[in-house]
Structure 1
């Protein structure tokens, strides 16, 4: 399942990031690339030695993990601290698949949180490759896309401006992507039903089924 979530970051945090990243120190992104990814990766990442690095990462992760759509889509067991990347003119990230294990967690779900206004740079689309063809994404600043970590994807070359994004990975309590999608659909339906009709017998039955499927499928 690929899911786009709008306005993940609160306005004050996005404003702080915009101001800070304009003058922040970035380093070669190949430092965190696997041996094969180094062949196609050309970007920069916010330096861990930067004065506000730890605080920014903490605030971004908190906003992501607290978002209700992220919770019901990812069912997160563990979430890696995000990395802030920058692509300037000529930079790109060719076709690759994310590592299966990072920092001791299995990567089930990858996410890209866009940090720059899409009108401020040219190119830089995130392209997901699949059996049904390719789909490109270039979201508003503060919006995020979730996608399976096992999917082939790439970042198109930036031709002008600077593409800024925070990327991260999560291990889900529900390993199977198809099962996560079933739970997401059920949870979405029951929330919609509750908003429209309140706590009804039908709401209770959907809630029961959702909870019992979690009991069957969750790895804690």
Structure 2
């Protein structure tokens, strides 16, 4: 499932992020990937253990913690602290696949990457190119969202960022380990949750209670916690 989640950050937060990131010290993004990724990656990134990345990442995690749409879609168990990248002057990231496992800063634990997330931090009109292209069984999907919006997609997907030929593209990106490993099961639970939510706008009933019971029993059966 590829999902657009609007307004993860407010416009005020986006402006504050962008101003902070304009003053930040960026490094070559190839330093953060293995040999395969380095061959097709040309961008800048914030040092992931730096003060700016940690400060802004904390705000993103707080916003996600209060976003019921994100929770319903991702059913997050653990989240990699958000990272930040910048593309300009023809910068791009060719087709690649995200690593299946990632480490945590100052933690001995590893995280399985079930879902990849990108939050756009400037408007689409600010730059040319820079589309996120995600492949799945139905072909290629082009993503370029308003500032503050996020795309959530399976980490199993092959994807790329097209060259930024004018302006600059600034984003945050990170990964989620879900309580539900299987994308089909996770999508089914999300769709069931959305049906229950819509039904509840008309009031509680025996049917909404029965569906909620079914949802939670499936979550108990499938979750890995």
TM-score, with length taken from structure 1: 0.96
Conservation of the 8 A alpha-carbon contact between 1:112 and 1:166: yes
Q: List structure 1 runs of 4+ shifted beyond 2 angstroms.
A: 47-53
SS at match of 2:156: coil
Deviations 1:67-118 (A, max 9, x none): 1111011111100001110001210000001000001100000011000111
Structure 2: distance between partners of 1:109 and 1:49: 22
Kindly report which structure 2 residues correspond to 1:30-45, keeping only aligned pairs within 5 A, or say none: 30-45=30-45
Unpaired segments ≥5 residues, structure 1: none
Partner of 2:107: none
Structure 2: distance between partners of 1:66 and 1:152: 29
- Superposition RMSD on alpha carbons, in Å? 1.2
Partner of 1:124: 130
Partner of 2:96: 96
Structure 1: distance between partners of 2:192 and 2:49: 43
Partner of 1:9: 9
Quote the offset at 1:48 in angstroms: 4.3
TM-score, with length taken from structure 2: 0.94
SS at match of 1:7: coil
- Given the alignment, which residue of 214, 220, 224 partners 1:215? 220
Matched, 1:67 2:67: yes
Unpaired segments ≥5 residues, structure 2: 104-109
Structure 2: distance between partners of 1:101 and 1:192: 36
Quote the offset at 1:53 in angstroms: 2.9
Structure 2: distance between partners of 1:49 and 1:80: 12
SS at match of 1:185: helix
Quote the offset at 1:11 in angstroms: 3.0
Quote the offset at 1:42 in angstroms: 0.7
